[in-house]
Structure 1
Amino acid sequence: MNNSQPNIQQKYQYSIEVADAPDIPGEGKPRRNSLCPDKLITHPPNATTLYENFLHGINEAGDGNFLGHREINDGVAGPYVWQSYIKVQERVANFGSGLRKLGLKPKNFLGFFLINNPEYIMAQLACYQYNFITVPLYDTLGTESIVHIINQTEMEYCLVTTDKGRELLKLKNKLPTLQTIIVSGQYDQEFTNLANSLNVRIVNFIVVERDGSVHPVNAENPRPNDIAIICYTSGTMGIPKGVVLTHKNVMSNVASVRWLAEKGKCYLPSCDDVHISYLPLAHIFEFVNTATMIYGGVAIGFSQGNTLKLLDDIVELKPTIFISVPRLLNRIYDKVMAGIQAKGGVTQLMFTTAYNTKKNGLNKGNVDHWMWDRVVFAPIRARLGGRVKVILSGAAPISAEVMNFLRIAFSIDVYEGYGQTENAACLTMSLLGDTESGHVGSPQVCVEVKLVDVPEMNYTSKDNPYPRGEICVRGHSVFREYYKLPEITAEILDKDGWCHTGDIGYWDDHGRLVIIDRVKNIFKLAQGEYIVPEKIENVYSKHELVSQVFVYGDSLQPSLVAIIVPNEEMLLKWAKQNNLGKKSSQELCKDPKVNGYFLQTLIKYGKANDLKGFECVKNVRLTYKPFSSDNGLLTPTFKLKRYQAKIKFQKEIEEMYAEIS
């Protein structure tokens, strides 16, 4: 795909100031996407709600593939088995009718506590058709949070898989409102007996669907301002908040993608495309991505839910659209680069030549090369099935280096999106043909964005060369409220409808947003210096010895410390070179000599990468166990949970500070 456009050399403006916006002291003027400067788009044609969005997908795809999964026999996954849009439409209507017969009423809540699968999507679509409100749950939130969500929403009905259902039944004494559990898949008599003993009704998904098909109940379709989902933010600390999003909020972002595609600035998913669904549907990023796929009639294939088998699923499915998060994309980058370095010789020389040639081409807007794409980069493309046309990275920051790699290695359009749950996942997005990295693009055409001064951090609208400030967004995708939290809502959503994101940014020469800091998740060290841990972690995580890192600073201490998860392959290689080859990874992580080497290496590396003296860690501890959602240290989109990490490593933190002093 050749998108040669002289967008880097020319000062093309991706966003422009709102023409009639007043000058307000302490903030910059709002900006809108330059492709739609005079209005904000609310919805795509013929789809004002998520139910109408589904109908549009049916009209696009008809008998084409919609939901696909792999059947597992004797532990072996077979080929993808598909259901068409038309078939799913029938099943959705029956399931929605069945929910009504169970007693679920319009604008009541249906909980979702299961991994991505066809039943998850069908139940969602039934909620859209019958105007029920979806409330996702996921176990990485922790037991306390799950109890909080169910009780705050007074949830009576929940869709589960058997394993998740058992978790809820174990908590039943804390869940007084939970009455009915609908199970996706099979369950045994023991499960039924446990539910009966707790006075909880258990019913199978198929049974609900079958009952709904007999004398079906008419649907009460939603309106644009009706609530579609209460999406609880996993957050980095404390009890999660329920972000209330309407059908209009979600559809405005679907509309933005379509609008930009019509202007030749975005890829428009169609019934010729295949999307792999593996990021959790409980998170707003995949939720909105799925809505966009459905509008275009895209075939959606589900992974098995096992991260170790994801690449196998990808090779089998051969997706054309790959939506991911930086953590996985960083792994692909690291694996490829390590493999090239290990081969060395002619292979490394050829790769370096090809890579640098294509990197120079990015400056002219080119993402492909007639020879190197076939000779050098074809095997890399094959790792994602060989058919990927577009990659979108979101949910967390990604380095410019990795973005360049993706464009070079896969010879395709690579987009980066920026947003939050509170603005229905996407606030800005880079556009087709823009091959320069280091920014998050221009506003979606459903919102306008402004920067507000943060004087205590020395970010103001008077800064040179670029005015800086807290990123604030207003428009159709901005959430309605935090559920039952009016005071906290008022802290984030001001009286004029501006949502304060907590992120700091500036507009570059092309009117694209650049994220540089965070109002929250910062702390002062004892000498009064502000510390942004994500910035430091992003530097250290690029070192070949580091797989993951958690940087911590006590406000009563003058320095930083860090917990490091080493890159096991590089750790064992270093150990072998330093007469420690007989030790396991676990033993090496406890070895003071290894800790000392890591500390000195990272101090030098930090200074070489422009970290200030007070930003360099002064002590480290190694752990062989990766941070993950399973051990409660990562959110479902792989962001570090700082509060939980601090609690888990409190002993190590205290020891490190004691050693420093």
Structure 2
Amino acid sequence: MSPQSVASLNPGRGYGGDDTPYVIVPNHNGKSSSELIEEILPLPQKYIQDAVLVPNTEKPGFSGIYRSKAYPNGTKYSAAADLNTYHTYFDAASKRYSSLPCLAYRKYDYIKKVSEPEYTTISYGEVSQLKKELGSGILYSLHNSPYKDSAKYECHAKIDNHRANFRSYNKDNYSFILSIFSSNRWEWVLTDLMCSSYSITNTALYDTLGPKTSEYILELTQSPIIVASKNHVKNLIELKNKNPEALGHVISIVSIDPLLPGDSFLVNFAHQNKISLFDFDQIIKLGRIFPTEELPPHTETLFTISFTSGTTGANPKGVMLLQRTAAAAITCFLTQVEHKVGWKSFCFLPLAHIFERQTTGYSLAYGACIGFPQHGGSPLTLIEDLRLWKPNIMSNVPRVFTKLEAAIKNATIDSDSKLKRSIFGKIFEYKMEAQSKHDGANGAHFVYDTVFLSKLRSSLGFDNMNVVITGSAPISANSVKFLRAALNVGFSQGYGMTETYGGFVVSIPFEATPGSCGGCGMTMEMRLRELPGMGYSANDEGGPRGELLLRGPQIFPGYFRNEEETNKSFDEDGWFYTGDVARVNSENGRLYIVDRVKNFFKLAQGEYVTPEKVENLYLSSNPIMTQCYTHGDSLKHYLVGVVGLDQQLIAQFLVEKCKIDASYLQTPEDILRHCNRVDVRKQILVYLNSNIQSKLQGFEKLHNIYIEFEPLRVDRDVVTPTMKLKRAIASKYFGDQIDQMYEEGSLIKNDKL
């Protein structure tokens, strides 16, 4: 007997059955797909919090297959048959929510160089019209470019034939490629939507790539047009100037920012290098004068190529993502993440990376309004923007949340005021206890929530926040518990990769015991491959462990112009090998990421160590830590580490635990100098190891550490822009510190580990 799905257990609600690849049935009771999304999605928590093992799917060397509890008998492609591309998702939303605000931004005064103290909104109907004008203007300008040479460049011939060929596009036969190079802003999303509606494949450049990698991507994709913020325009022209042959196909740049009277030198410099330079408003006005009807994609149209930075220092790989992949990713979040029409979201994580594009697509599908950081926004201006925008939902990374945690603790339970310490200590203890009783418990308490926690929420712009999502790196379960309690907000942890168009699993906001990434979404199925050499088995206690393999509509079809890497990544049955080691909880099917397949080394006594497992445990067990790089040497019998510590929390530690007078800790340099004293480092290390306890064996624990606030930085080339460690490069960069730690010896050799 097949396991029962949400449709069979809830007949008459409008859920699609096992025999359809869609989650909802359009026109159920005369209602549109958008109306049904409002009514019956996300799915009830009991169906999305867990995954189930599909009977009789085990194979030698592999676990069985796991699927969503909501649809255990097959995966789903999209929410509905008429919502099968990013274009159709937004088209339906723009019609249903035409008058509702869609995108919001703080206007910027380019003369005074300040952002307005309030948000301006653009409605769904206006965004729909603007994307038509933008698409029309770009196509007209490219068709009439004086620098187009269709005989020499294939991408220029594609411009000529775009209207005739757009219906036949797929991963192998695609349009000319448009590149976007900008920080997060509403024009970025508008350009992305335009590309989708006009069947134009796009890709993204970003600051941390550097000119060499930008040149590589532009040359590989043969991109003839770049939509960029003005601060990048001069460098892009210079890039072509230095590489006239390799980048001869680049003939147009559209500046998102206005070209002012003083920018005539830029226009002339562009023309000298056979590039037409426009600004955004000029292109939109062209589109109004010369309109072109939309050229909608189909499910197999290549939507975007998202380049992932390699961890070995090699050129990045271009992940091809189809329109159906985007639709599946949006569907995954719509079915699993809370949402309401008219909610406000905040777009902070880089749109150049796929996770924010997934959350953007999901937000636009249900009628949310997306707010953007101020012009030139950064983590330092985040709170200012949040206080003005007051979103309902936001995605961010652990290092931002741990900084919030430190600030809240400093103002409450670590305050100089004894009364504050007492009151908030009692409140947080109550909330954490109440929220841990069962899945879904939010620990509501009228007095605590309305009198005390509402002020905390308001101070950070969390007045209306319902749920936040974290991803990209591990986060301490203790941090999640504290932030949920202190901010009275749901806290979900997700997992995904560029190859899955972002997250395909996300934990419920009030998971009783935080730490999992949730149950498998219905647009994917997963299994584990045993790794006996690393000690991971399908029969491990607590649930199978091994390399995570994925299959389903949300998986990418391959790497751009890289058949070798594509073939290495898939097996004959279509399973994608992620390279991540996971555990699936035997009781509820929830996913935990524990390691990386290729990251292990042997110590002097023959023990094998997997550094990612070690790093993840240190980070998840120690809120004071923000970064961790573990190093082992086959000639040594212990590990050393380069660690990043939160400046505020470690300053408190030095005062309270190391008895260092606060007057000696006035500057960041003062704090670091004391941190790296041998006696202090030992105290810090003993503390870090005490939080690990028996989770690691003695030889897996760090015996010496080097401390900075943020040692693993992109500008040092030791991590990728998505913060993945480049181990070979990191070992060279920190070579002197590693040598010094081994020369110094173990700081805890006489301590019991």
**Pairing 1:46-445 to 2, within 5 Å after superposition:** 46-73=82-109, 74-78=112-116, 79-101=118-140, 102-103=142-143, 104=159, 105=162, 106=166, 107-172=175-240, 173-174=242-243, 175-176=246-247, 177-187=249-259, 188-238=263-313, 239-260=315-336, 266-270=337-341, 272-304=342-374, 305-339=377-411, 340-362=413-435, 363-364=437-438, 365-367=440-442, 368-382=444-458, 383-431=460-508, 434-445=511-522
Runs of 4+ residues deviating >6 angstroms = 10-13
Residues 622 and 691 in structure 2, CA contact (< 8 A), matched pair in contact too = no
SS at match of 2:543: coil
Further displaced range: 107-116 or 347-356: 347-356
Residues 586 and 623 in structure 1, CA contact (< 8 A), matched pair in contact too = no
Further displaced range: 36-45 or 243-252: 36-45
Distance 1:60 1:527, change over 3 A: farther
Write out per-residue CA displacement over residues 215-244 of structure 1, whole angstroms, 9 at most, x where no aligned residue. Answer: 322332111111111111134332211111
- 1:648 Cα deviation (Å)? 3.2
Aligned-partner residue type, residue 423 of structure 2: M
2:739 is aligned to: 654
Aligned-partner residue type, residue 264 of structure 2: Q
Aligned-partner residue type, residue 533 of structure 1: P
- 1:627 Cα deviation (Å)? 4.2
1:606 is aligned to: 689
Residues 582 and 594 in structure 2, CA contact (< 8 A), matched pair in contact too = yes
Long gaps (5+) in structure 2 = 1-43, 144-158, 167-174, 747-753
- 1:478 Cα deviation (Å)? 0.4
SS at match of 1:443: coil
Q: Within 1, Cα distance between the matches of 2:302 and 2:726? A: 28
Q: Within 2, Cα distance between the matches of 1:80 and 1:627? A: 35
Write out per-residue CA displacement over residues 471-524 of structure 1, whole angstroms, 9 at most, x where no aligned residue. Answer: 111100001001111121122222211111122222221221122222133333
Further displaced range: 240-249 or 141-150: 141-150
- 1:44 Cα deviation (Å)? 1.8
- 1:454 Cα deviation (Å)? 0.9
Distance 1:505 1:593, change over 3 A: closer
1:263 is aligned to: none
Aligned-partner residue type, residue 379 of structure 1: K
Q: Within 1, Cα distance between the matches of 2:455 and 2:213? A: 43
Q: Percent identity?
A: 28
| Residues 1:550 and 2:629 are matched in the alignment | yes
SS at match of 1:341: coil
Alignment partner for residue 589 of structure 1, among 668, 672, 697? 672
Q: Within 1, Cα distance between the matches of 2:672 and 2:49? A: 50
- 1:577 Cα deviation (Å)? 4.5
SS at match of 2:549: strand
| Residues 1:578 and 2:656 are matched in the alignment | no
1:3 is aligned to: none
SS at match of 1:377: helix
Alignment partner for residue 645 of structure 1, among 730, 736, 744? 730
- 1:75 Cα deviation (Å)? 4.3
Further displaced range: 449-458 or 101-110: 101-110
2:33 is aligned to: none
Distance 1:538 1:598, change over 3 A: farther
Further displaced range: 311-320 or 639-648: 639-648
Residues 406 and 648 in structure 2, CA contact (< 8 A), matched pair in contact too = no
Q: Within 1, Cα distance between the matches of 2:624 and 2:536? A: 34
How many pairs are equivalent? 647
Q: Within 1, Cα distance between the matches of 2:684 and 2:595? A: 26
Q: Within 2, Cα distance between the matches of 1:223 and 1:351? A: 54
Write out per-residue CA displacement over residues 380-428 of structure 1, whole angstroms, 9 at most, x where no aligned residue. Answer: 2211340011212222222221222233223333222111111111121
| Residues 1:449 and 2:534 are matched in the alignment | no
SS at match of 1:426: strand
Aligned-partner residue type, residue 107 of structure 2: E
Q: Within 1, Cα distance between the matches of 2:257 and 2:136? A: 19
Distance 1:595 1:621, change over 3 A: farther
Distance 1:23 1:550, change over 3 A: closer
Distance 1:209 1:524, change over 3 A: farther
Q: Which has the higher contact order (CA 8 A, sep 6+)?
A: 1
- 1:639 Cα deviation (Å)? 4.6
Aligned-partner residue type, residue 597 of structure 2: V
2:603 is aligned to: 525
- 1:33 Cα deviation (Å)? 0.7
Q: Within 1, Cα distance between the matches of 2:47 and 2:230? A: 56
SS at match of 1:376: helix
Distance 1:191 1:417, change over 3 A: same
- 1:437 Cα deviation (Å)? 1.1
Residues 572 and 585 in structure 1, CA contact (< 8 A), matched pair in contact too = no
Further displaced range: 409-418 or 227-236: 409-418
Residues 156 and 178 in structure 1, CA contact (< 8 A), matched pair in contact too = yes
- 1:604 Cα deviation (Å)? 4.9
| TM-score, structure 2 as length reference | 0.80
| Residues 1:560 and 2:639 are matched in the alignment | yes
Q: Within 2, Cα distance between the matches of 1:64 and 1:639? A: 39
Alignment partner for residue 461 of structure 1, among 538, 552, 570? 538
Aligned-partner residue type, residue 376 of structure 1: F
Write out per-residue CA displacement over residues 559-585 of structure 1, whole angstroms, 9 at most, x where no aligned residue. Answer: 322234444345556379536817743
1:33 is aligned to: 68
Q: Within 2, Cα distance between the matches of 1:459 and 1:43? A: 34
Aligned-partner residue type, residue 445 of structure 1: M
Write out per-residue CA displacement over residues 123-145 of structure 1, whole angstroms, 9 at most, x where no aligned residue. Answer: 11110011011101112123332
SS at match of 1:134: strand
2:700 is aligned to: 615
Distance 1:168 1:631, change over 3 A: farther
